[in-house]
Structure formats: structure tokens, C-alpha cells
């Protein structure tokens, strides 16, 4: 296997994560009946095991309950965690809490970190990120945001309608994205607020029926905010800097999503290879037939390319760069590569792959959403293409005007 130039520390953390997965998490996953949601007790048990293995919340600073590891060094551990939805929850690298903890760590006040970040890291609280809205509100175009927050004395009053708030059905706190200055461009007129889920006016309408695994029971909520009042100290970060803060959250979160899903896809290929080695058809094992062998080889190659791209972009972010184009490239490429890998693995496992006896059906449902969440493929391609056409070299344009002379 490729080394990807991971540091010694990254390899050590990944090794701890791999041991946790192989020795604790995957055996626990196999005890669950297909489609079953893990209990709170099971998640707590797995988190305690992650602490014992020395791989709990590696991305969070030690002062807030994590391990304080470098962003680039934790990515291989995220990939190991992605081999099962339970692994992500065990290591406290599961979405949306992982991204929300990152945002609180970046921009939370000391009081906000004490009241919300540290309990989140500990696993005592759950959070949701409430940004997406029903038509005609914010979706792929977040500038269409309709939710508002108006200042009234020493409080903010929030009104709006959100949906696809991951884990919102069970969240203790919600990070709500709202427009605070209707006269400014949305990029300069939006802010983020910490809203307790139990606040007056927070109406959880429903858990949206959706395609995807429910192994950890996160769900996706539709929520209405009806004249919700929060104190002014619940503003997260700077007023009017909401878009900037959200981008700081989404860039790293997109890469961690990439690593979790690449781990899932790698396990899917391993499952397919094991199944094909045991399954005979038309005189030989499936693993002896050239077409499926080559298909799995191609999928593994694409996954290797995705991992390399993610690591390159992660190094840029760790160096303090936004790496917006790189993040879009990594996200759209990895989303498609992992979907193809899991689809191929399920296909070669036939009826067993479609069943819930293997985790491939859960993987298949989960990975399809990855091409939509955290920015649809089309949004990221638009970002990449925009830079491409804005930066056409002048000499190339000049050459075209003389073409054929």
C-alpha cells in the first residue's frame, strides 16, 4: 500500500485507530442486526474504548478535552474511523459535531468554549448546524438565506425555517446561520448564533425521511425558529462575518468527510474481495475472473488518487491557506470515487451485497448523499471552472486571435 508521505505521528495515530476498529468497533458493529441503530450505551462504551486506545478527539486542543494533534496528522485516523459509522462516533470525529466543535474552537469566547465546546468534546452534548432552508431559501446558493436575526436590546430575535439540520432531532444546541443586516450583501450581512434546542420558539417539525444509514441515529431535522430569543453573548464569532466563519468550518470539514468516506469505500472493496474469493460461479471463484479483478483494481487506484489529493489540500490548510479550489477539487473527486467504489463492491457481492447481512447497503445509501451534502458536485465544479476561466493566460488569448493567419 502507498505511504502517502504521512508523518510518523500520523502513522502512529492511524495505527491506534486501526487497532480500535479491528478489535472493538467492527466486532460491535457485527453484533447489530442489519439496519439497527446503536444504543446510547453502545456509543458510550465505544468512546471509552477510544480513550483507552489513545485516539479520542485527536483534532481538538488538549485544553478542551482533545489530543491537540496537527490537522494533517489526524486525517489517516479519520479514514480508519470511516470504516464504520460507529467508529466515527467512537473517536468523536463524527459529523456534524466534529465541524461544529472546530467552529467553536476557532471563534467561541472563553465562556462559549466552557459551556458548549468542552461538553461537546466530552460527548455530553450533541449539536446541529442549521443553515439549509426550504425553497426559496438557502441551499446550494447560500446567498438566498431567508432566516433573520434582529437585535432587540441585549438579545437577538431569530425567525426562520430550516431543514436538513443533521442531528437536529437530538441536538442540545444548534448553530444557526441567519441574516443580521438586510441592507448588506449576504457575504457581509450574516452571522452565526448558538441556540439551545430547548429555547422557546424552537420547533422541531420532523425528522426528514431520507436515504442513508441510521446506525448512529443522527437523522436530519426540519426546524422552525419562531421569535426565538437568545442573549447577545450567543453570537458566535463576529457579527456580519458568518459566511467567513462558515467557510472556515466547511473547508476542513469537507476534507474530513472525504477521509471518512474513503475509509468506508476501502472497507467496501475489502468486503467485496473477501466475498469474491469465496463465491464460485461458472466453474471458478469470482476472484479469478479478469473483469471483476480489474474493476476492483481501478476503484482502488481512484481511491489512492483521492487520498493523495486530500492530503495535499490538507497540508495547504495546515499551513494557514484557505485552499478553496483545492477543497472543491478534493470534495467532488472523492465523492464520486467513493460512490463508484462502493457501488462496484455491492454489485460484485450480488444479493448478499443488497442484503443487510453486510454493511454495504448502509454504505451505499450513505455515500450517495455525499455528492450533495457540503456542497453539491455542481457547486464545486462551478467554483473550479470559475477560476479556470478567470485565469486564462493573456498569451493564450492573443495566440487564438492569430490562429489560422
pLDDT along the chain (405 residues), means of 10: 86 98 96 81 96 98 97 95 94 94 97 98 96 93 94 98 95 98 94 98 95 78 98 97 90 92 97 96 93 97 97 92 93 98 98 94 93 93 91 69 58
Domain ranges of the chain: 8-94, 127-236, 243-390
pLDDT at position 399, please?
A: 66
Q: Do domains 8-94 and 127-236 have the same CATH topology?
A: no
CATH number of 127-236: 2.40.110.10
- Alpha carbons 111 and 254: distance in angstroms, whole number: 28
* Residue 206 near residue 146 (C-beta atoms within 8 A): no
Q: What's the angle, vertex CA 213, arms to CA 18 and CA 140, rounded to 5?
A: 105
Query: 221: burial class by Cβ within 10 Å (0-12, 13-18, 19+)?
Result: buried
Task: Report yes or no on whether pTM surpasses 0.85.
Answer: yes
Query: 102: burial class by Cβ within 10 Å (0-12, 13-18, 19+)?
Result: buried
pLDDT at position 216, please?
A: 74
- Alpha carbons 5 and 3: distance in angstroms, whole number: 5
> What fold does the segment set 243-390 form as a domain?
Butyryl-CoA Dehydrogenase, subunit A; domain 3 (1.20.140)
> What fold does the segment set 8-94 form as a domain?
Butyryl-Coa Dehydrogenase, subunit A; domain 1 (1.10.540)
End-to-end, the C-alpha distance of the chain in Å comes to 52
* Residue 255 near residue 131 (C-beta atoms within 8 A): no
Query: 154: burial class by Cβ within 10 Å (0-12, 13-18, 19+)?
Result: exposed
Amino acid at each position: 500500500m502507498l505511504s502517502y508521505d504521512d508523518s510518523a505521528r500520523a502513522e502512529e495515530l492511524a495505527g491506534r485507530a486501526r487497532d480500535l476498529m479491528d478489535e472493538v468497533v467492527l466486532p460491535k458493529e457485527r453484533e447489530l442486526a442489519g439496519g439497527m441503530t446503536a444504543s446510547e450505551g453502545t456509543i458510550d462504551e465505544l468512546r471509552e474504548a477510544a480513550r483507552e486506545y489513545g485516539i479520542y478527539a485527536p483534532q481538538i486542543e488538549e485544553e478542551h478535552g482533545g489530543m491537540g494533534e496537527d490537522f494533517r496528522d489526524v486525517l489517516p485516523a479519520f479514514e480508519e474511523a470511516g470504516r464504520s459509522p460507529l467508529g466515527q462516533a467512537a473517536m468523536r470525529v463524527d459529523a456534524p459535531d466534529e465541524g461544529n466543535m472546530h467552529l467553536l474552537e476557532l471563534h467561541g469566547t472563553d465562556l462559549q468554549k466552557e459551556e458548549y465546546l468542552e461538553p461537546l468534546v466530552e460527548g455530553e452534548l450533541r449539536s446541529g448546524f442549521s443553515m439549509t432552508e426550504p425553497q426559496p431559501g438557502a441551499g446550494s446558493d447560500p446567498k438566498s438565506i431567508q432566516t433573520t436575526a434582529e437585535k432587540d436590546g441585549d438579545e437577538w430575535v431569530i425567525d426562520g425555517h430550516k431543514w436538513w439540520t443533521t442531528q437536529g432531532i437530538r441536538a442540545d444546541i444548534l448553530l444557526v446561520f441567519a441574516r443580521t443586516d438586510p441592507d448588506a450583501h449576504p457575504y457581509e450581512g450574516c452571522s452565526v448564533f448558538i441556540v439551545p434546542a430547548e429555547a422557546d420558539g424552537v420547533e422541531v417539525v420532523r425528522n426528514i425521511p431520507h436515504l442513508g444509514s441510521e446506525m448512529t441515529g443522527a437523522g436530519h431535522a426540519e426546524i422552525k425558529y419562531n421569535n426565538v430569543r437568545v442573549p447577545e453573548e450567543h453570537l458566535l464569532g463576529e457579527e456580519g462575518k458568518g459566511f467567513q466563519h462558515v467557510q472556515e468550518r466547511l473547508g476542513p470539514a469537507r476534507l474530513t468527510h472525504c477521509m471518512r468516506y474513503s475509509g468506508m469505500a476501502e472497507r467496501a472493496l475489502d468486503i467485496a474481495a473477501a466475498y469474491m474469493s469465496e463465491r464460485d460461479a461458472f466453474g471458478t471463484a469470482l476472484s479469478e475472473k479478469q473483469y471483476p479483478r480489474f474493476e476492483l483494481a481501478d476503484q482502488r487506484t481512484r481511491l489512492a488518487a483521492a487520498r493523495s489529493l486530500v492530503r495535499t489540500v490538507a497540508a495547504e490548510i495546515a499551513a494557514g491557506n484557505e485552499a478553496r479550489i483545492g477543497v472543491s477539487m478534493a470534495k467532488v473527486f472523492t465523492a464520486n470515487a467513493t460512490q463508484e467504489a462502493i457501488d462496484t463492491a455491492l454489485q460484485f457481492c450480488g444479493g448478499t451485497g443488497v442484503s443487510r447481512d453486510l454493511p454495504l447497503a448502509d454504505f451505499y445509501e450513505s455515500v450517495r448523499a455525499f455528492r450533495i451534502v457540503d456542497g453539491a458536485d455542481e457547486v464545486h465544479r462551478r467554483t473550479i471552472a470559475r477560476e479556470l476561466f478567470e485565469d486564462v493566460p493573456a498569451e493564450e488569448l492573443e495566440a487564438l486571435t492569430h490562429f489560422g493567419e
